[in-house]
Structure 1
Amino acid sequence: MEDEFEFGFTEDPKFSVERYEEMIRNHDQYFFDAQAFENIIDYYIEKNDPAKALQVAEYAADQHPFAAVFLIKQAQLLAITNRTGAAFAALDKAAMLEASDADIYIIRGNIFESMERYAEALENYEKALELAEETDEILLHIAYVYQNMGDYETSITYLKLCLQQNMENQDALYELAFCYDVLDNQEESVQFYQQYIDNEPYSYAAWYNLGNAFTKLGLFEKAIDAYDYAILIKDSFASAYFNKGNALVNLEKYAEAIEVYRHTFEYEQPNADTYCAIGECYEKLEQMDDARAFYKKSVKMDPKLADAWFGIGVTLDFEERYFEALHFYRKALDIDLSNADYWFAIADAEYKLGHMKEAEEAYERVVELNPLDIDAWLDYSSILYEDQRLEGAIEIISEAIKNNPEAAELYYRMVAYLFAKGEYNEALNYLELALGADPEKHYILFDYLPQLQENKVILDIINRYSK
């Protein structure tokens, strides 16, 4: 029989690991106390080697048959490797030894959650709540289950309880923001984070989430202030810089946004999204060479980023290089075939190149994908009008009005087409509808058919509504 050596918890964890590996190499049998075994298991878990960790847990359970901790570790590792049956069996054995260990119910809850057996997951988490000393992570798991069930209101309740237990639980702060976002309840989100900050003014995550909530409400100045506080507390917070840049873009402060986006490069590797955002700022500033350079950096880093390919097209379009622009618009479209903006840009470029059939087909796709795009309907009908296909132009505008009954521009355009077709009474009916929708926009009619400015009947009707 081999000699047995004993190693205790006073040993350095690294020493315990070395001794364990030596034992395996030598096919020997050493005795380790429970703490030493836990250290060895944790070492392999940290090394992302669940197979070795499980081997140690099984060896430990043999040496310490009445220690529930090793059965619990086994169950955890079996669950990670998708051996749920064996995991449940290990937990049942652990429960016979130490039924009051909260980890048994937490792991069982985890397994049921991964199996989408949510009622059983909740039952186990609730049991764990009764037994555990620290409950914030359990409350967080319960919140996840309710999210998976689509019950975001209840999830919010548990996330708030989680934060009452541990104000610094960052995951709960971000999940709370997510739930408010799904419920489109940014006002309550703002209220919660403001109250939270009153108690925890140095929580960069809370300031960041407050900034995001203000952004979604369109309160960009307030959002920037919140992001500034997040950055002040954690100056390496790249996401706060990026979102602050987005808020500045919404305020059309493009030069400032570029500087803020560049700050992210100090704290994380440049990425395609940031390059693309900088490119868009240069595009808005009409610095097309710079814009194109950043868009190109973006697609080099991520060839699947459709917006960057599209951006290159926009810069070429601006320089009236329509044929080249089309190539890049189509690359964007290959990635995102149902993007109405890409189809619109293609339609416009084809029109400028005199390719009327292709332009018409592209506009048809735009209005199919986004029937609320009034400009697309107007441009689409214009192609038919220019081609003397008045019936078709009127049909298109009629369809546009069905989809956008409040849009005065469409009624004014219909008036122009009906006049051009000689259907004066019908045109006057539509003029009344247009003026009823928005009398201020009557200039649209004259922009399209200037000769109507001499028409006394039309002028009389317009004057009546203007007064």
Structure 2
Amino acid sequence: MQLSNEEEDYNLSLSKFESMLKTNKVLFFDSEEFEEIILHYLDMGKSALAKKALKLALDQHPKSTGLKLVQVEMLVFDDKLELAEKLLNELYAIEPTNEEIYIQKANIYSKRDQHEKAVELLRIALKYTDDNADVYNLIGMEYLFMDNLEMAKESFIKCLEEDLEDQSALYNVVYCFEFLDQNQEAISYLKKYIDKNPYSEIAWHQLGRLHYGVKEYENAIRAFDYATLIDDEFLGAFMEKAKAFERLKKYEEAIESYSRTIELDDATSYALLRMGKCYEKLGNSVLALKYFNETVHEDPLLDKGWIAITDFYVRQKNFQKALFYVNKALAIDNQNRLYWKRFASINKQMNFFEEAEFGYRKAVEFGDHSLETWLFWVDILQFLGEFESAIQTLLQASEYFPEENEVEYRLAGLYFMLTDNTKAKFHLSNALRLNFENYILLEDLFPVVWAKKMVQNYIAKHKK
């Protein structure tokens, strides 16, 4: 690729400066050359070289406002705000209409968390600048710091009116709309923006994301298609398009889009996992398992990959293998209630009741308070003959489900098993009041209790 004259001059200046440092010969550079050299080193994170270049620059051009403003920028970066402010006041006395002075003053106020004052100064800078877009962008950022999303959005929109190509402002506008829960307004704005700038792949991509967010998946795919037509290597757009196809249950198209992301970059565990899920939905268990295995090969620490294989084997009723893989997931994340519930369920299927009980206990410990989990846990405790523990667990469950007949019937059955008839009758009365027809639970879960004449009479009496 041929370099422009400006780029050639810039590279030449840089080579000349670095050569000077090596030979200790002092060469002359004009002030603009020095500015570019200093800013280059700052961008590269080489602050020591930037400071060295600034010192040489000020020796050669002691009255250059541009270089002194670069000096201010470096002082602000180093948090030497008082020195920077003093220098700015001196520059203001010489050039009161230089917009960069107001921008740097605003930067100092921003560093001090005085964002309103910073905005005031940036609005003065607007009177003198030729680059309104940049100043509006800075104003928008100050409003973001103040959590004033409406004013931030307005400023970023003004920035884009001045410079349609400002991608950071475009992202920030969409961020503000989304934060304010104005998704439909954001869609309308992006459509108008695209009318003015139809070849902005970023705008099409953001439009697709917004349509996806409001579940307009067909529209989302259309927008992502435009983004990938403009830039056929836009990995993010292919990934989002694949997700939208999945939502529409168009699994073959989803696989095609995920495959494209793998062609564009190294395979990601996420894409491989989703491809496995799509193949599973299509009934192709061989390819599903292939991609699940590739997922964990790509990222052995991705617990979702191990869980996908777990669920695959559960559906195949191969519980031995399912148990092996759920343990892999738990080794990565042993505080995940959903993984513990799977662990418990698999062990229960294999008649490993003590392990199943442990799994349900851990699931509840880590926040699974669904009725189903409590009841599975209790039923296993009962099966193991741990009636007292089962009662304590049910009393805990009743705090979450105070009017649940399934909890009350179980409490009644367990208390009858322990011959605590007073408490048993109390809970049986509650259960029959809540759902009389469900008394069959006693017969299913507590056949010994069901056979008692006292229990039969109590239920018959309640029926009358």
- Is the TM value for this pair above 0.5? yes
Q: Is the 8 A contact 1:58 1:74 kept in 2?
A: no
Q: Is the 8 A contact 1:276 1:294 kept in 2?
A: yes
Task: Give the whole-Å Cα distance in 2 for the aligned partners of 1:131 and 1:337.
Answer: 60
Greater displacement, 159-168 / 326-335: 326-335
**Residue of structure 2 equivalent to 1:213:** 210
Pair 1:305 & 2:306 matched: no
1:392-413 alpha-carbon deviations (Å, 9 max, x no partner): 77876776676579xxxx9574
Pair 1:191 & 2:195 matched: no
**Residue of structure 1 equivalent to 2:421:** none
Letter in 2 for 1:307: K
Q: Is the 8 A contact 2:405 2:430 kept in 1?
A: no
Task: Give the whole-Å Cα distance in 2 for the aligned partners of 1:11 and 1:217.
Answer: 49
Pair 1:427 & 2:424 matched: no
Q: Is the 8 A contact 1:371 1:400 kept in 2?
A: no
Letter in 2 for 1:309: W
Pair 1:242 & 2:239 matched: yes
Aligned match for 1:104, one of 96, 101, 105: 101
Q: Give how far 1:114 is off.
A: 5.1
Pair 1:181 & 2:178 matched: yes
**Residue of structure 1 equivalent to 2:453:** none
Pair 1:225 & 2:222 matched: yes
Q: Is the 8 A contact 2:344 2:357 kept in 1?
A: yes
- Judging changes above 3 Å, is the alpha-carbon distance between structure 1 residues 150 and 16 closer, same or farther for their aligned structure 2 residues? closer
Task: Give the whole-Å Cα distance in 2 for the aligned partners of 1:226 and 1:378.
Answer: 47
Task: Give the whole-Å Cα distance in 2 for the aligned partners of 1:299 and 1:91.
Answer: 57
Task: Give the whole-Å Cα distance in 2 for the aligned partners of 1:252 and 1:396.
Answer: 41
- Judging changes above 3 Å, is the alpha-carbon distance between structure 1 residues 127 and 379 closer, same or farther for their aligned structure 2 residues? farther
Which blocks of at least 5 consecutive residues in structure 2 are unaligned? Answer: 1-5, 415-423, 451-455, 460-464
**Residue of structure 2 equivalent to 1:464:** none
Q: Is the 8 A contact 1:207 1:227 kept in 2?
A: yes
Give the % identical residues: 30
Q: Give how far 1:52 is off.
A: 1.8
Aligned match for 1:267, one of 255, 264, 271: 264
RMSD value, Cα: 4.1
Task: Give the whole-Å Cα distance in 2 for the aligned partners of 1:79 and 1:327.
Answer: 57
Structure-to-structure mapping, 1:431-442, within 5 angstroms: 431=435
Task: Give the whole-Å Cα distance in 2 for the aligned partners of 1:300 and 1:108.
Answer: 53
**Residue of structure 2 equivalent to 1:202:** 199
Task: Give the whole-Å Cα distance in 2 for the aligned partners of 1:249 and 1:204.
Answer: 22
SS of corresponding position for 1:266? helix
SS of corresponding position for 1:160? helix
Q: Give how far 1:243 is off.
A: 0.9
Q: Give how far 1:334 is off.
A: 4.6
Q: Is the 8 A contact 2:397 2:407 kept in 1?
A: no
Q: Give how far 1:344 is off.
A: 2.2
Task: Give the whole-Å Cα distance in 1 for the aligned partners of 2:280 and 2:353.
Answer: 28
Task: Give the whole-Å Cα distance in 1 for the aligned partners of 2:7 and 2:321.
Answer: 72
- Judging changes above 3 Å, is the alpha-carbon distance between structure 1 residues 233 and 348 closer, same or farther for their aligned structure 2 residues? same
**Residue of structure 2 equivalent to 1:133:** 130
Q: Is the 8 A contact 2:337 2:368 kept in 1?
A: no
Q: Is the 8 A contact 1:71 1:93 kept in 2?
A: no
Q: Size of the alignment, in residue pairs?
A: 435
TM-score (norm 1): 0.76
**Residue of structure 1 equivalent to 2:419:** none
Which blocks of at least 5 consecutive residues in structure 1 are unaligned? Answer: 1-8, 436-441, 459-467
Task: Give the whole-Å Cα distance in 2 for the aligned partners of 1:268 and 1:79.
Answer: 39
1:250-307 alpha-carbon deviations (Å, 9 max, x no partner): 2333332111111112333322322232233334445444334434433444444332
In our comparison, the structure showing a higher alpha carbon Rg is 2
Task: Give the whole-Å Cα distance in 2 for the aligned partners of 1:329 and 1:89.
Answer: 64
Q: Give how far 1:417 is off.
A: 4.5
1:366-424 alpha-carbon deviations (Å, 9 max, x no partner): 3454556454345344434655778877876776676579xxxx957458758967866
Letter in 2 for 1:95: Y
Task: Give the whole-Å Cα distance in 2 for the aligned partners of 1:277 and 1:85.
Answer: 55
Greater displacement, 237-246 / 251-260: 251-260
Pair 1:51 & 2:18 matched: no
Task: Give the whole-Å Cα distance in 1 for the aligned partners of 2:185 and 2:175.
Answer: 13
Structure-to-structure mapping, 1:348-359, within 5 angstroms: 348-359=345-356
Letter in 2 for 1:272: S
Pair 1:41 & 2:38 matched: yes
Q: Is the 8 A contact 2:391 2:411 kept in 1?
A: yes
Letter in 1 for 2:204: W
Aligned match for 2:274, one of 277, 282, 293: 277
Structure-to-structure mapping, 1:14-25, within 5 angstroms: 14-25=11-22
- Judging changes above 3 Å, is the alpha-carbon distance between structure 1 residues 252 and 372 closer, same or farther for their aligned structure 2 residues? farther
- Judging changes above 3 Å, is the alpha-carbon distance between structure 1 residues 113 and 301 closer, same or farther for their aligned structure 2 residues? farther
1:418-467 alpha-carbon deviations (Å, 9 max, x no partner): 896786653343238xx9xxxxxx9x989x89x99xx9xx9xxxxxxxxx
